[in-house]
Amino acid sequence: MFENGLTKRVLGGLAAIMLTMTAATGNAAPAAAAAPPSEAEIAAILKTRVETERRTIGVVVGVIDAKGRHIIVTGARGAGDTRPLDGDTEFEIGSVTKVFTSLLLADMVRRGAVALDDPAAKYLPPGVSLPQRGGRQITLIDLATHTSGLPRIPGNFTPRDPSNPYADYDDAKLYAFLPTAPLNSDIGTTYGYSNLGVGLLGQLLARRARTSYADLVQARITGPLGLKDTTITLTPAQKARLAVGHDSGLSPTPYWDLDALAGAGALHSTANDLLAFLAAELGYVDTPLKGAMADQLVPRRPAGGNLKVALGWHISPGPGASGDPAGEIVWHNGGTGGFRSFVGFDKARGVGVVVLMNTSNDVGGDDIGMYVLTGAPVSKSAPPRQTVPVATEILDRYVGQYQLTPAMLVTVTRQDKRLMAQLTGQPIFEIFAENPTDFFWKVVDAQAHFEVGPDGKATSLTLHQNGREMIAPRLP
């Protein structure tokens, strides 16, 4: 779900507010990088991120190259849980799940079970349909490359519990929405990151295989690769190794559960498992998935700028010459309410990296991953914002609707002692007070200022994001 992700500047970057499970834009500036940085160099960066900047409670980095595999760790399993992290600590990996979903697609194409240009509707239950445009149907490759035109999340996505937003979005809700889903662009033409699209892809592949998504991943990917800790449902032993998730204020936050859209972000994994996955991608170990992995890496569609999208993976220029496939970086990132993840590799140099954090924030570990792969400098981030209590009678003065654009409202409500904000067609999230009139989102780097009149009631809301300000007058 972040603007430093695949979130585009739609209406001044407002789409970022609803995306808490995401892939990033990742157009890192190429830099000369003959070999990955040393463990000491990586450890110094992690120490700064954890101890100085205080952007996360803990972080695990795994690096693989021709010399072997290395795990570098800083921080703890959770706030109040001083047990150290290690290569076997379980994390929610969010949208890195999408790589596994698209690998399932590539493998099933090789098996002759599906074709990339099969209409997605072919594998829906009887009576359920998908929208069409210009006589063109949405295909499986459109879903895998985020070019289906489907929205980022379903229009009937109204979480009962905003802290675990996907838990109650089931098959019935998904199938009820699909026939009326609006298309944001012509099918197959425009990149638009969609949790809905890849979640649907996971559903369709499982239906075609007549099994569950979780069982299909285990049978076709994690089982053959020996990834014993990459799973949706954790065993008691794995739960004992699960890191505690935290929001950007470093407070513990609930774990996420995904139902109908599991293929978009439901997996847990460890640094050691993901390094084993990269070992197969880089050809350090033999695997029956070798052909499917190669098919998955073929660039399929442009994604804006110098970014290309393959099946599940994104491809950015790396330290090689511009336009040189031998210098490309293949990557994906992810985030849930309490975790951030990054997985990437440079096949030509035989280098791969995994970054796992037990905190969801606007920085994540993408820059650390790109530093390992390209030598690009890591970002310098500000310390986390501090919250202050605000009386409920003051919060009530902000409750209402604010006109951000002719087509988009910000609806502000109060739930007990919490102030909530929701953009049109997007999930509802809590916003946190820095002072009585200034609030911020923890799921993305965005802030809201309430302008108040003589009676103390808000007259407008100003949204700050991506260096821009948008004023939204309060509706009567």
- Work out the average pLDDT over 10-15: 25
Mean pLDDT of the chain: 88
**What's the confidence (pLDDT) of residue 146?**
96
Extract the tokens encoding 417.
């002692």
| Judgement on whether residues 98 and 246 belong to the same structural domain of the protein | yes
The tens digit of pLDDT for each residue in 106-154 reads 999 999 999 999 999 999 999 999 999 999 999 999 999 999 999 888 9
Span 25-58, pLDDT tens digits: 444 333 444 578 999 999 999 999 999 888 899 9
Question: Is the domain of 351 the same as that of 403?
Answer: no
Do 314 and 333 lie in a common domain? yes
CATH number of residue 417's parent domain? 2.40.128
C-alpha 241/C-alpha 92 separation (Å) is: 12
Q: Are residues 379 and 420 in the same domain?
A: no
My answer on whether 405 and 295 are in the same domain is no
| pLDDT at position 5 over 70 | no
Mapping DSSP onto H, E and C, the string for 78-132 reads ECCEEEECCCCCEEECHHHHHHHHHHHHHHHHHCCCCCCCCEHHHHCCCCCCCCC
Here the CATH number for the domain that contains residue 310 is 3.40.710.10
- 384, 403, 420 - which closes a domain: 384
pLDDT of residue 10: 22
pLDDT at 304 over 90: no
71 and 118 both lie in a single domain: yes
Confidence of residue 320 (pLDDT cuts 50, 70, 90): low
Residues 1 and 145 in one domain: yes
Is the pLDDT at 19 greater than 60? The verdict is no
Range of the domain at 407: 392-473
| pLDDT digits 0-9 by tens, 89-110 | 999 999 999 999 999 999 999 9
Which range has the worst mean pLDDT, 238-247, 335-344, 403-412?
Answer: 403-412
Answer yes or no: is pLDDT of 473 > 70: yes
- Between 28-37, 193-202, 360-369, 448-457, the lowest mean confidence (pLDDT) is in 28-37
Instruction: Single out the residue in 368, 384, 400 at which a domain terminates.
Output: 384
Band (pLDDT 50/70/90 cuts) for residue 158 is confident
pLDDT classification of 467: cutoffs 50, 70, 90: low
Overall number of domains in the chain:
2
- Is the domain of 314 the same as that of 419? no
Torsion of CA 408, 410, 411, 415, to 10 degrees: 140
Verify that 348 and 437 share a domain, yes or no.
no
Q: In sequence order, what DSSP letters do the residues of 225-261 get, joined into one string?
A: HT-TT-BSSPPHHHHHTBPPPB-TTS-B-PPP--STT
454 & 339 share domain: no
Are 11 and 328 in contact by the 8 Å Cβ rule? The answer is no
| Residue 411 in this model has a pLDDT that exceeds 80 | yes
Same domain, 380 and 396: no
Tell me: pLDDT of 3 over 90.
no
C-alpha triplet 255, 258, 189: angle, nearest 5°:
125
**Does 283 score more than 80 pLDDT?**
yes
Cα–Cα distance for residue pair 335/91, rounded to 1 Å: 10
Among 359, 384, 409, the domain boundary falls at 384
8 A C-beta contact, residue 415 and residue 473:
no
Cα–Cα distance between 408 and 426 in angstroms, integer?
A: 10
Q: Does 196 lie in the same domain as 113? A: yes
